[in-house]
Structure 1
Amino acid sequence: MTCTSALAAAFAPHQELASALLPHAFSGDDGSHDAAHLIRVWKNAARIQAEEGGDARQLAAAVLLHDCVAVEKNSPLRAEASRLAAEKSWQILDGLGWRTAEISAVAHAVLTHSFSANIPPETLEAKILQDADRLDAIGMVGAARCFYIAGRMGSGLYDPLDPLAEDRPLDDKAFAIDHFETKLFRLADGFQTATGRRLAREREERLRCVLAMLLDEI
């Protein structure tokens, strides 16, 4: 079994689709947007779709392609990442012979999944993808990804003199735990589906526990 086919099995029952799309799914070396991230987002999406409905095939394609264009967190083009990924998704699916309506649905989901893009999702599949991706940004995995990205960007873990930014402006480019307040704790209020909101509340509690334990240790 090749590496691609082994990964594709994680997207059951859409292994064939995953085999076709995985070679296009990555364009960088960001370990917070890698195969493990795609698998986690697919598990989240499948869990939500099982309760909320929606087209599972379109959703699988959107999950597989939502990060197909890599733009670093500190790039001035960050807000354009989902638009670029949506355009690339359209080209890929068109090359595979998908119908225009289906391609449009997948591209819309990819376009609107991003927090940075700030474009409201209009379809159920787009809402599920946004929720599934944001679930991976909170909870234990979200904390791990936050610290990983901080290291990748050359940021510190926290301000040693004022870790909670009580007497300074929050600066998540300089300190990892500032990102909890500037973004991660804000995500739970923006979930699109009832299932997503329920799961988000559980994960936000875990994320707050991570911060509390870190503060206790420092």
Structure 2
Amino acid sequence: MDGSADLRSRLRAVVAHRMETDPAHDLAHLDRVWTNARAIADDQTDMSVLLAASYLHDLVNLPKDDPDRHLASRRSAAESEPILEEIGFEADQVRAIQHAIEAHSFSADIPPETIEACILRDADRLDALGAIGIARNFSVSGALGRTLYHPADPFAQARPLDDLHFSLDHWKVKLLRLPGDMLTETGRRIAEQRTARMLRFLEEFADEIGCSLPQSWANC
């Protein structure tokens, strides 16, 4: 197996019908993760393993408020096995792909042990940042019925952060901290660039609601 256009087409065809219910984890998300992964990969990367993991990592996509959310990546890895065997991946590649899928999840808390797993984790988290990250955050929050921000204290200066109720709080709780959690040098660099775009958006957002962006948000 190699990272060919034909393999990508086969993988996209397999997952297309399973990626229609969540606009933040749809086929376009998988395409973006693969684009991010290619930007991070180097000549030590098994591109076919990375390609397959990129397109199969969300086979089982549980809602963010599902109590079993932390199990989604393990279930995705398990469901990937017959797909990979049918396509023709060797047993060692199947194991490598499954590990990358299991370890990509923030909530699963599984340490990545291969370069492909590190790249996939970074590539997936990059899709939560930048212009796309802004769009995804508000899309998911709307689907879950969350308010955009706390009207009296938008940036949680005098209250605990609460991203279960306020979309903007999730930026401080998780998103703006992602650059420091990247495992690859390239992933970190791209994450910092995308976070800078988000901070510019937050400055405009704060201005439009009549307040200033606290310095603590810019120094996450």
Q: Give the TM-score normalised by structure 1.
A: 0.90
Aligned twin of 1:67: 58
Identity of aligned residues (%): 46
2:33 aligns with one of 22, 27, 41: 41
1:54 aligns with 2:45: yes
1:28-82 alpha-carbon deviations (Å, 9 max, x no partner): 5100111211111111111111x46301111000001011111001100111111
Matches within 5 A, 1:71-86: 71-86=62-77
Query: Which sections of structure 2, spanning at least 5 residues, go unmatched?
Result: 210-220
Contact residue 146 and residue 164 of structure 2 kept, 8 A: yes
Aligned partners of 2:111, 2:176: CA distance in 1, in Å? 19
**Deviation string for 1:144-189 (max 9, x for gaps)?**
1000000010001001011111121111111100000111012111
Alignment length, in residue pairs? 206
Moved over 6 A (4+): none
What corresponds to 1:151 in structure 2?
142
Kindly indicate whether the alpha-carbon contact (under 8 Å) linking 1:131 and 1:192 is maintained by their aligned counterparts in 2.
Answer: yes
Q: Aligned letter for 2:5? A: Q
C-alpha contact 1:28 1:70 (8 A) present in aligned 2: no
Deviation per CA, 1:64-103, whole angstroms, max 9, x where unpaired?
Answer: 1011111001100111111111111122112333211000
Match of 2:152 in 1: 161
In structure 2, C-alpha distance between the alignment counterparts of 1:53 and 1:169, rounded to whole Å? 44
Change (3 A) 1:197 1:52: farther
2:99 maps to 108
3-state SS of paired residue (1:162):
coil
Partner in structure 1 of residue 216 of structure 2: none
Alpha-carbon distance between aligned partners in 1 of 2:131 and 2:104, rounded to the nearest angstrom: 21
In structure 1, C-alpha distance between the alignment counterparts of 2:188 and 2:156, rounded to whole Å: 28
What's 1:202 paired with? 193
In structure 2, distance between residues paired with 1:93 and 1:81: 18
Q: Is contact 2:130–2:195 with CA below 8 Å preserved after alignment?
A: yes
Structure 1 unaligned residues grouped into runs of 5+: 1-11
CA contact (8 A) 1:52 1:195 kept: no
